[in-house]
Amino acid sequence: MAPKPLDYESLNENVKKSVYAVRGELYLRASELQKEGKKIIFTNVGNPHALGQKPLTFPRQVVALCQAPFLLDDPNVGLLFPADAIARATHYLAMTSGGLGAYSDSRGLPGIRKEVAEFIERRDGYPSDPELIYLTDGASKGVMQILNAIIRNNKDGILVPVPQYPLYSATIALYGGSLVPYYLEESANWGLDIKNLRQSISEARSKGIEVRAMVIINPGNPTGQCLSAANIREILEFCYVENLALLADEVYQQNIYQDERPFVSAKKILMEMGLPISMEVQLVSYHTVSKGYWGECGQRGGYFEMTNLSPETVDEMYKISSISLSPNVPAQIFMGLMVNPPKPGDISFMRFAAESKEILESLRRRARIMTDGFNSCRNVVCNFTEGAMYSFPQIRLPPKAIEAAKRAGKVPDVFYCLKLLEATGISTVPGSGFGQKEGVFHLRTTILPAEQDMPEIMASFKKFNDEFMEQYEHHRGYSRM
């Protein structure tokens, strides 16, 4: 009998080729174990609230009032909500035409896009145009939209860091393009060496690939590194010379855990470089309400800003946005709140500042606890998490473990991570999901488990790891390389 249109064998091959490790085999097995009653520590996704982080109070008050605008007329509203939350809800509702239940403009509410532009101007010291800022259902949707516009066929290449966040590999496969990897240097704290870029692009070209865009993730996911201004400048020069659009994934810009390299945006550096580069390099920059000290992942709010794109392309992006009508409006309000938080003197300022500070300082401590924990384990080495929300330790698997994995039909790091999951309930993502050099193995965890649980989690990890290494090594006392 002929296969049916929605049978597996009849599906679009690009759909089948697309792989998304963050919710792959490990996640599915962890979900099964959870159903069976095992306690699982989900560190596979940067999902802070799922691991106990409390939402910031002020933005939730504002959005609750926007959802229930009839409360604004209730004489008792002041018993439950502070006056500045009430004022802010009124401010945002006035930007909508019909409240949160009405589709907004497909690019997002003009008033919110203006607040985003003002935020970018304050951050970078250069002008930002609200007409070039589009709000999206999370940053991922914006990344997918731009990649869909760039990729025409399988000869179009996109430079992507390795290790990379699998959104990029999955989306490039889905739209039928070619991923062109460039390697980050683990031994240089996951730094980006421009030589590696040049090598990657010439290899790709020798295979007939037209490289059209480059992705940077800063701070890095899964690697946690923060790019220096000098490094970003080199990247922009490279993009200028090679005629590449730059996609700057800057969703972790508020997650910085060291003082040497504060976040600096690609847009700011581009503007600083002056003519001709500042008017020539096409740049799309991404941000989100899901990360930072907000962690409002479930709301699905993001934006992208377009720099040096032609007006016709900006219009095309508008058209594509309009097919699904509008990004969700509540998350647009969260975006407004994120870029325009309470100010000193506001009633809610002290509380907001205290809550934010507590979250960020705790993340900084957890980044340290986790790195130190991994580095205390046999055959494990780990760079410090400078930014973002992840730790990406290298696991030096003994040859016998690699053989055992092969016998089990598993990629070695998947084998290790599955054993870790079964033994401890810690659900990680194998490094192979992000890309890594041949014969080198990693795993990714978030640094998000509650701070008070961290020592126990790291002890549990160490116990598992050291026993695993013991089991698969010939001799006791095999030393770390």
In this complex, which beta carbon is closest to a second copy, that of residue 202 or of residue 324? 324
Interaction residues for a second copy, span 161-200 (CB under 8 A)? 167, 170-171, 174
23 binds a second copy (CB under 8 A): yes
Where do we find the tokens 């004489």?
75
- Least CB distance from residue 82 to a second copy, whole Å? 12
* Candidate ranges 47-55, 227-235, 389-397, 454-462; the one touching a second copy (CB under 8 A): 47-55
| ∠ CA 34-36-40, rounded to 5° | 25
Question: Which helix H or strand E contains 419, and what residues bound it?
Answer: helix 412-424
* Candidate ranges 20-28, 248-256, 368-376, 394-402; the one touching a second copy (CB under 8 A): 20-28
In this complex, which beta carbon is closest to a second copy, that of residue 15 or of residue 354? 15
Which one among 326, 424, 428, 465 touches a second copy, defined by CB under 8 A? 326
Which one among 138, 341, 387, 398 touches a second copy, defined by CB under 8 A? 138
Do 385 and 224 meet the contact criterion of CB atoms below 8 Å apart?
Answer: yes
Question: What gap in Å lies between CA 419 and CA 422, rounded to an integer?
Answer: 5
Do 333 and 112 meet the contact criterion of CB atoms below 8 Å apart?
Answer: yes
Do 51 and 449 meet the contact criterion of CB atoms below 8 Å apart?
Answer: yes
Interaction residues for a second copy, span 301-320 (CB under 8 A)? 309-310, 312-313, 316, 319-320
In this complex, which beta carbon is closest to a second copy, that of residue 238 or of residue 441? 238
Which one among 199, 202, 324, 471 touches a second copy, defined by CB under 8 A? 324
30 binds a second copy (CB under 8 A): no
141 binds a second copy (CB under 8 A): yes
* Candidate ranges 220-228, 326-334, 418-426, 467-475; the one touching a second copy (CB under 8 A): 326-334
**Cα–Cα distances in Å, from 60 out to 14, 112, 218, 392?**
39, 17, 28, 32
- Least CB distance from residue 196 to a second copy, whole Å? 21
- Least CB distance from residue 383 to a second copy, whole Å? 26
| ∠ CA 14-16-18, rounded to 5° | 70
Question: What gap in Å lies between CA 289 and CA 35, rounded to an integer?
Answer: 30
57 binds a second copy (CB under 8 A): yes
Interaction residues for a second copy, span 212-251 (CB under 8 A)? 212-213, 243-245
Residue by residue, DSSP assigns 350-392 as: HHHHHHHHHHHHHHHHHHHHHHHHHHTSTTEE-----BTTEE-
11 binds a second copy (CB under 8 A): yes
Which one among 12, 199, 202, 471 touches a second copy, defined by CB under 8 A? 12
Considering just the CA atoms, what is the radius of gyration of the chain in Å? 23
Which one among 106, 178, 221, 383 touches a second copy, defined by CB under 8 A? 106
Count of residues touching a second copy (by CB under 8 A) = 99
For 228, the token pair is 């220096």
Interaction residues for a second copy, span 60-99 (CB under 8 A)? 60-61, 63-65, 67-68, 70-71, 74, 76-77, 79-80, 96-99
- DSSP tally for the chain: helices H, then strands E: 18, 14
Which amino acid does the sequence have at 447?
A: I
Burial of 335 (0-12, 13-18, 19+ CB in 10 A): buried
47 binds a second copy (CB under 8 A): yes
**Alpha helices, DSSP H only, in 247-398?**
266-273, 277-280, 311-323, 329-339, 349-375
Which one among 13, 36, 259, 260 touches a second copy, defined by CB under 8 A? 13
Which one among 25, 29, 55, 364 touches a second copy, defined by CB under 8 A? 55
**Alpha helices, DSSP H only, in 48-150?**
57-67, 77-80, 83-95, 110-124, 139-150
In this complex, which beta carbon is closest to a second copy, that of residue 20 or of residue 478? 20
Which one among 296, 346, 386, 413 touches a second copy, defined by CB under 8 A? 296
